[in-house]
Structure 1
Amino acid sequence: MREAGLPTDSLTTTFAPVLFTNGSKTTLIDTGFGPDAAAEAGSTKGLLVGNMKANGIDPADIDVVVISHFHPDHVNGLLSKDRLTFPNATIMVPEPEWQFWMDIEEMNCAPQGRMSQLFQNNRRILDQVGERLSIFKWGAEIVPGLEAIAAPGHSIGHTAFWLRSHGEQIFIQSDLTNQAALFVANPDWHSALDQFPDQTVQTRRRFYDMLAEKRIALQAFHHPFPGRCYLEKNGAGYRRIPID
């Protein structure tokens, strides 16, 4: 952290959901912590809806919400005061995530603590999505121009995406890495948030090697805002080249 010019006694994490239009359709990828978190005293999270409105986008304008994985900073924003934040949107979720987190036997076997809390939180939220739910498979084009890519490790069904249009493309990595100053330079490290640490590292290196070799733009949920960069090999790790 010191080498990156950042504080060593605290860690700030950026949240960068992606919103794009394709023709008349507006798609949002991941939701942040949501308006309920934003309403907490002194909160610095859950600000997505306020930022959308400041840019002239109402939550009712969102046609599709795509979820990369079922962690609170990606799914909690689906609800606001126990109602759907995006009332007109289809909610699209990865099949492996849905099967695991909605499995009663898996929930009953989950260790107490973070995992049991995740099961409870995911059921609380997704039980309210109802008929707006749509489950997608890896390898499918889930909305025009957006392909779902298997990237497990951080979560059992963690999903990345290719976004392509008119000959251009960007790789949306979701949570392949969290804090860039730690995990881009040290890709073999993992955090307590990674469900399967060894798989997390293998998946990360496989995609980062490809992106660095082909110099393909990367969009990351937790890298410094707005989260876009190129990657270069740097010793045993990588270096970010931000795209402002």
Structure 2
Amino acid sequence: MSDKQTTHFGYKEVEKDAKAGLVAGVFHSVAARYDLMNDLMSGGIHRIWKRFTIELSGVRRGNSVLDIAGGTGDLAARFSRIVGPDGRVVLADINDSMLKVGRDKLIDGGNLGNIEYVQADAQYLPFPDDSFDCVTIAFGLRNVTDKDLALRAMLRVLKPGGRLLVLEFSKPRSELLGKAYDAYSFNVLPKMGQLVAGDSESYQYLAESIRVHPDQDTLKQMMEDAGFSRVEYHNMTGGIVALHRGVKA
């Protein structure tokens, strides 16, 4: 839809300029209960997905890592321990409510002091070229208005040989699993959101946003078109989630 002035906000068609504000409203609403809802929605499996992302990142002591749409800091906390005091982790999120929740959580958890907090738009990253050994974005790309622009920005800030990891909901491999997943997403999630977070509409949007996100092969092609090499993806939980990995040549 890059040649049009509209884009998806869930199943709705909205002006491109309006999407960021609408997404911000969703995450302002859910920030305080975000971690609890993640555990409830996934049965805690999101922790395994994130652990696999860390393992595939190849991050080592002394590395510099950018976690985009880092939210409440799950990945940043783990990267902080891996890179150590000589390393650097930047937790970036466009949403100040999510960033505050993440900062408070990590400070309370006694992080090593090697984490920086930056409010930033994934499409216009405020970092110099060739800054990071690894860039991650977990469950954030589907909320970005111009994904192609964001992928090019991520490539720019990576050092040569640096890795991008995109962890995102994707397309289930089995039709039966897909039907069960749809029933859960559209019947259970909004009700759970209403009960736990007092907000069913935001979780309705999150379910819809997953369905309009590019599938595994489409996202792989988008990463290659943006300039990444050696792009591959790994399906998890039957393809409900996929982890894409690309390298800056």
Length-normalised TM-score, structure 1:
0.40
- Higher relative contact order structure (alpha carbons within 8 Å, sequence separation ≥ 6): 2
